[in-house]
Amino acid sequence: MNNYREIETWQAFLGQFIEHPKERERLAKAVRVRSITLQRWAEGLSRPREENIRTLLKHLPAEVYPLFMRLLLRDFPELLKDELPENHFHRHIPSAFYARALSNLALTPQHIYRQSMQDLLLQQIREHLDPDQHGLAISLAQCIPPRLDCKVRSLREIGGLGTPPWPYDLAEKFMFLGAESLVGYAVGKMRSYVINSKDEMTFFPANWTEFERSAAAFPILRQSHVVGGLIISSTQDFFFTEQRLSVIEKYAYLLSCMFEAEDAHPAEEIELQVMPPYALQFPAFLRYNYRVALKFTEAAKARQTVTLQDVRQLVWQEIEDELLQLPLESEIQG
C-alpha cells in the first residue's frame, strides 16, 4: 500500500486510495454512489454529504482509518459526535463536586488529606470521562524534589485509576518519567499536549503501552510553579475532543489543591532527564520498603529525628540517582 503519511488533505488521500480499481468500485458500492462521484470528491469538484463520509469511514481498512479521520476533521469536525457519543458526557465539572472538594480541603486532617483528595479527584475524573467504561487510564505524577542546588530531573507516578481493559487500581506499575514521556514534555513546556491517535505522526515523545490509542498530558501548576502532571490514556482514537480537553484542564487545576507550596518548582528548576524503561526500573522498587526501614534504623543510631515523608523522599532521590546511571552503564557494557 502507498505511503499515505505525506498527504495533507482528505481529498488527496481519497484520490490516491481510489487509484486501485477494485478499491474504487468497492467504496462506490458501499457508499452507494458512482465511481465518478468518488473521483469528483477527490478532485474537490463536489463535496460529499456528511452521511456519505460516515459510510465511507466505515468501509476503510483499519490501518488507514486514523489518518483519514484526522484529515477529515479539518472539514468535518462534527464527525467526532459519531465516533465518541457525547450523550453521557457532561461538559462541566458539577458544582456539587467543587463543593465536595472544598469541604475535603477544609475538614480533612493534614496527615490523610493528600491521599483523600487524590482518591476523590481521580475517582471523579474516571467517572466523568468514561461513565460507560470504554477504556480509560488516569495517572498522576509528581516532581521528584531536587537535592540542594540541583534541578528537577524526573517525575514519579503517585496514583492512578482505570476502567477495563486496565485494572481499577494502576498502582502496580508506578514508575519514574522524564523527557522521554508525553507528560515530561508537558511539564517541561508548562502546557498540555495531546496525541489523538497512536498512528498519528508527531514530534512529541510517546511510549505507548498496551491498550493505548490516544493520550493527553497536562502540567499541574501551583501559583505558576510546577508540581507534576496528569496523564490520561484512552483505548479510542480521537478521544480527546475540545470539550473533554477543557474539562480535563479544569481537573488539572483542582489537582493542584492536593499539594503544598514546597511541592512546587519554578520553570527554571525543571530539567527533566531521559528515564529508563519500566523493565529496568522495576528491580529498584523491590527493596523500597527495606530501604525506608533502613533509613529509620540509621537515624535512630545517630539519634536523629526524621519523618516518614523525609525518609521516603530521600529513598526516591537515591533511586532516581541509580536509574539515571543505568543508560551510561549499558553503554559501557555495550
pTM of the model: 0.73
What does the angle CA 208 – CA 210 – CA 211 come to, to the nearest 5 degrees? Answer: 100
Residue 27 amino acid letter: L
The number of CA neighbours under 13 Å toward the Cβ of 54 is 10
For residues 10 and 200, the model is more confident at 10
**Average pLDDT value for residue range 97-111:** 93
**Strands, E, within the chain: which ranges?**
136-143, 155-162, 176-177, 193-195, 214-222, 225-234
Assess whether pLDDT exceeds 60 at residue 5.
Answer: no
Q: Is the pLDDT of residue 62 over 70?
A: no
Q: How would you class 182 by CB atoms within 10 Å of its CB: exposed for 0-12, middle for 13-18, buried for 19 or more?
A: buried
Residue among 18, 69, 11, 70 at smallest CA distance from 41: 11
pLDDT above 80 for 185: yes
Cell reading at 227 = 508540581
Least confident span in 7-21, 207-221, 316-330: 316-330
Backbone angles phi, psi at 216, to 5 degrees: -140, 145
Kindly state the average pLDDT of the residues 31-58. 87
Listed range (27-41, 64-78, 142-156, 174-188) with the worst mean pLDDT: 64-78
Domain boundaries, the chain: 4-83, 95-269, 278-333
pLDDT at 333: 45
Lowest mean pLDDT of 39-48, 87-96, 110-119, name the range: 87-96
d(CA 113, CA 102): 12
Cα–Cα distance measured from residue 218 to residue 146, given in angstroms and rounded to the nearest whole number: 21
CB 20 within 8 A of CB 4: no
Q: Is the pLDDT of residue 332 over 50?
A: no
Mean pLDDT rounded to a whole number for the chain: 87
Asked if the model's pLDDT at residue 203 lies above 50, the reply is yes
pLDDT at 334: 44
* Among 55, 60, 114, 104, CA closest to 82: 55
Choose between 228 and 29: higher pLDDT. Answer: 228
Instruction: Find residue 193's DSSP bridge partners.
Output: 217
Exposed (0-12), middle (13-18) or buried (19+): which is 89, by Cβ within 10 Å? middle
pLDDT at residue 329 greater than cutoff 90? no
What does the pLDDT look like over 304-325, one tens digit per residue? 888 888 899 999 999 999 999 9
Q: Which CATH number fits domain 95-269: 3.40.50.300, 3.90.79.10, 3.30.428.10, 3.30.450.40?
A: 3.30.450.40
Per-residue pLDDT band at 16 (split at 50, 70, 90):
confident
Least confident among 89-93, 228-232, 256-260:
89-93
Tell me how far CA of residue 131 lies from CA of 128, 138, 230, 320, in angstroms.
Answer: 6, 14, 19, 36
CA distance 191 to 193: 7
Crossing angle (nearest 10°) for helices 242-255 and 110-129:
170
Question: Quick one: DSSP state of residue 270?
Answer: B
Q: What is the percentage of the chain residues whose pLDDT exceeds 90?
A: 54
132-159 confidence digits (pLDDT tens)? 888 999 999 999 999 877 899 999 999 9
- Residue 260, pLDDT score: 93
- Written as nine digits, the cell of 229 is 502532571
